[in-house]
């Protein structure tokens, strides 16, 4: 009996630890470690490439996810509005292509061309970037502000409050966050819950 209780305790502890690990990632105010992802043009894209910008709107997205497709025009609009002001969009696809053929690099290239993306669409081949950020959904946004020679996390979560209907949006979380940062004000709502498809990470 004692052995069963001990076994149950260990199993519970392992599951709890695994849950904590799965939810781990950068916290608000953390400095972001440089990373490199692969652009659809085949060239590497690093966070340091944005050193002349005021910040970056980093969005984890994908080809196959219906939520991601619903947000394509909104992501385009974010880049068109804020890139000229120093906050360009950097989109990252972190799914395992073995799980979703539609998320293969070739299909990413095709999608970027068909939709004429105005922002960099990249692949996190190692999935280390998604793990560092603790990204779990597509789409999921992280707004980074450049502070001296580093980028700091200022917002994470949903792009807005209506993943189904763009015309029904009441709160534009990412837009509001960037607008506040440009005005040198703190972000009023720095964390929200991302709604979308689960990111498929390799074990």
Q: Which of 15-29, 62-76, 87-101, 180-194 has the lowest mean pLDDT?
A: 15-29
pLDDT, tens only, 53-69: 999 999 999 999 999 99
pLDDT surpassing 90 at residue 5: no
Look at residue 22 and tell me whether its pLDDT is greater than 80: no
Residue 17: per-residue pLDDT: 36
Question: For the chain, which domains are there?
Answer: 28-198 (3.40.30.10)
Question: What are the DSSP E strand ranges found in the chain?
Answer: 36-39, 44-46, 55-60, 89-93, 120-123, 137-138, 140-147, 150-157, 197-198
CA angle at 145 for the pair 196 and 36, rounded to the nearest 5° = 70
Residue 23 confidence (pLDDT) above 70: no
Strand partners, 90: 58, 120
Write down the pLDDT at residue 13. Answer: 36
**pLDDT band at residue 24 using 50, 70 and 90 as cut-offs:** confident
């Amino acid at each position: 009996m004692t052995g069963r209780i001990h076994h149950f305790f260990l199993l519970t502890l392992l599951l709890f630890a695994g849950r904590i690990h799965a939810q781990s990632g950068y916290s608000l105010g953390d400095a972001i470690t440089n990373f490199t992802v692969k652009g659809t043009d085949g060239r590497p894209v690093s966070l340091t490439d944005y050193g002349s910008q005021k910040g970056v709107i980093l969005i984890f997205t994908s080809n196959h996810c219906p939520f991601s497709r619903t947000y394509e025009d909104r992501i385009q609009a974010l880049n068109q509005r804020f890139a000229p002001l120093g906050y360009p969009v950097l989109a990252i696809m972190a799914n395992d292509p073995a799980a979703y053929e539609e998320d293969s690099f070739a299909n990413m290239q095709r999608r970027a061309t068909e939709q004429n993306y105005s922002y960099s669409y990249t692949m996190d081949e190692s999935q280390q970037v998604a793990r560092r950020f603790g990204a779990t959904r597509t789409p999921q946004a992280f707004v980074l502000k450049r502070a001296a020679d580093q980028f700091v996390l200022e917002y994470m979560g949903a792009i807005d409050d209506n993943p189904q209907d763009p015309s029904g949006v009441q709160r534009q979380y990412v837009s509001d966050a960037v607008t506040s940062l440009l005005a040198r004000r703190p972000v009023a709502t720095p964390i929200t819950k991302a709604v979308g498809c689960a990111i498929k990470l390799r074990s």
